Amino acid sequence: MQDLIASSLKFQNNTLMVLDQYLLPHQQVWHECRDVKTMRELILSLKIRGAPLIGLGASLLIAYLAEQDTTKAVLAQAIDDLEATRPTAVNLMHCMAKLRVALQQQDYVAEVINTAVKLFNEDIALCEKMATHGAKLVNSGDNILTHCNTGALATAGIGTALGVIYKAQQRHGDIHVWVDETRPLLQGGRLTAFELERWQVPYTLICDNMAASLMAAGKVDKIFVGADRIAANGDFANKVGTYNLAVLAHFHNIPFYVVAPLTTLDVNTACSADIEIEQRNGAEVRGVSGSFGEALWAPTNANVYNPAFDVTPAKLITGWVLDTGVYDQQQVLAGELKRLV
Ligand SMILES: CSC[C@H]1O[C@H](OP(=O)(O)O)[C@H](O)[C@@H]1O
């Protein structure tokens, strides 16, 4: 398999490497992955994370195993095992479905490898298209609020919502970004801040509970977020705290955009009620751990509610920025998204 290199995932010299996003930004540690058990742990612990990226990481692992003359039956089980890691982001299911088709072909080793390579390279191109479409929605001097991390660390390209922000900054040179730290795992404070510094995009880090007063003060011009799954009616699931922003944006009449590749659209999921929300370990809320070690602030036995995602109804969304274009609420509520697949 050819070398494939992205910000947090690479296949080089026949070795699959994953950047440990849990240790960023203060430690850059790459883990080698040679088996399903390791990739499952990397995905479940969010060392590799981001809807598109977990699909690509799983795909490259399957391709690596195919290259090691792994039997069809073992590859099929590996696909099932990896698909079962995180239930909300549909990109993982999309990639695994493509690999299942490849596995049924006569020359399945070559087909699986070619499919994984194609998915990786397609993602790079999809990011560019989303960024180009979305950047046209940004005006000079805009203050943009974003949530979680949707950049190069979460994709094979420049990202989804953060890719729009990056392209807009290239175009205008004078935008500013409010970065939600994104409790409990702090993808915004750790990863988005890290990426915006690398790209030299001016930003200000805020706690999630500060977004409301910034909007009330007129300091937020637009909101761009990513998605883990878009339902057929335009509702979508994204990192928990996204729904808060959508309700606040609606109240304050601030444009609210979701940015995702068309492969995040799941026409088999009718609406948000049908999206399975991943529930995560309470330890993530009782304290925090990372490159600095760990800190525990809540009582050891505190009951915790820790959904990794929440859902936002289409009626709160101004626009859907996909690689195929930008769609407004009237188009989406009229069923336009379903006609794209
Ligand atoms: C382009 S990443 C999309 C999506 O994935 C993130 O979730 P996680 O960090 O748990 O993998 C977040 O919801 C992003 O918006």
pLDDT digits over 34-58, tens only?
A: 999 999 999 999 999 999 999 999 9
**Interacting residues of 317 by C-beta distance below 8 A, sequence separation 6+:** 234, 236, 246, 256, 257, 258, 329, 332
Cα(194) to centroid of ligand 1, in Å? 16
Q: Does residue 53's CB lie within 6 angstroms of at least one atom of ligand 1?
A: no
Per-residue pLDDT reduced to its tens digit, 12-29: 999 999 999 999 999 999
pLDDT category, 273, cuts 50, 70, 90?
Answer: very high
As a whole number, the mean pLDDT across the chain is 97
- Nearest-CA residue for ligand 1 atom 6 is 50
Question: Can you tell me the mean pLDDT for 158-174?
Answer: 98
* pLDDT score recorded for residue 292: 77
Question: Can you tell me the mean pLDDT for 162-169?
Answer: 98
Question: Can you tell me the mean pLDDT for 193-215?
Answer: 98
* pLDDT score recorded for residue 103: 98
pLDDT(287) > 90: yes
Q: Which amino acid is at 163?
A: G
pLDDT category, 147, cuts 50, 70, 90?
Answer: very high
Q: Does residue 187's CB lie within 6 angstroms of at least one atom of ligand 1?
A: yes
Which regions of 141-255 does DSSP assign to beta strands (E)? 143-146, 176-180, 203-206, 222-225, 229-231, 236-239
CA distance 273 to 232: 12
pLDDT category, 288, cuts 50, 70, 90?
Answer: confident
* pLDDT score recorded for residue 276: 97
- Reduce the secondary structure of 226-267 to three states and give it as a string: CCCEEECCCCEEEECCHHHHHHHHHHCCCCEEEECCHHHEEC
CB atoms within 10 A of CB 97: 12
* pLDDT score recorded for residue 290: 77
CA distance 133 to 325: 6
- Does the pTM surpass 0.95? The reply is yes
Q: Does residue 52's CB lie within 6 angstroms of at least one atom of ligand 1?
A: yes
**Of 46-60, 118-132, 285-299, 308-322, which gets the smallest average pLDDT?**
285-299
pLDDT category, 293, cuts 50, 70, 90?
Answer: confident
Q: Which of 7, 21, 150, 194 to mutate to test the pocket of ligand 1 (most atoms within 8 A of CB)?
A: 150
Cα(221) to centroid of ligand 1, in Å? 23
Residues designated catalytic = 228
CA distance 63 to 2: 11
Residue by residue, DSSP assigns 19-84 as E-TTTTTT---EEE--SHHHHHHHHHTTSS-SHHHHHHHHHHHHHHHHHTT--HHHHHHHHHHHHT
- Nearest-CA residue for ligand 1 atom 12 is 239
* pLDDT score recorded for residue 289: 80
Write out the two tokens for 215: 């909007």
- Nearest-CA residue for ligand 1 atom 8 is 50
